[in-house]
Copies of this chain bind each other. A is one copy, B any other.
């Protein structure tokens, strides 16, 4: 391994202070052991029906999209429970990939994602905090407004 500090110096790059957690997600999550569970991209199904369809914010408001993101968490937890049998085995939420059905210039992906992230922290406290990437995509399966994939750490 080369000396990273020396190379940073040579390139004139200063590493800023680590970002502070300002929301329900955190800049990073380390997985020290245990098993990872990868959950497929979840859509906001409720009782077998999508809560909403269409683009954010034109056809689906940010508030509704947040509720959809929250419902993706509910469905992601259902998939997790199907895999591990009991939530007692859950140790940590690791990562969320948040895809918002949104066109050019939409900038509020974090707000939408917070619908998911905030619920996870409300449910799991510190262990609910996770790394997250949130982006706007041109289209989603079944014209859903939000899709979220999850990685969990379990015992």
A: residues with CB less than 8 A from B are 1-2, 4-5, 7-8, 11, 13, 15-19, 25-33, 35-41, 47, 55, 74-75, 77-84, 87-88, 90-91, 94-95, 97, 99-100, 102-110, 119, 122-125, 127, 130-143, 147, 149, 151, 154
Contacts and interface: CB of A to CB of B under 8 A. Distances in A.
B135 A140 contact: yes
A41 B133 contact: yes
Contact of A28 (B47, B80, B102): B80
Contact of A90 (B4, B19, B81): B4
A135 B1 contact: no
A138 B102 contact: yes
A140 to B, nearest CB: 6
A137 B140 contact: no
A99 B100 CA distance: 13
Given A19-B75, A77-B15, A127-B1, A106 B139 contact: yes
Contacts of A5: 87
Nearest to A125: B2
Contacts of A32: 35
A61 to B, nearest CB: 16
26 contacts: A1-B124, A2-B123, A2-B124, A4-B123, A4-B124, A11-B123, A15-B77, A26-B40, A27-B39, A27-B83, A28-B37, A28-B82, A30-B35, A30-B38, A40-B133, A97-B133, A99-B133, A99-B135, A100-B139, A105-B143, A106-B139, A107-B142, A108-B141, A135-B137, A136-B137, A136-B139
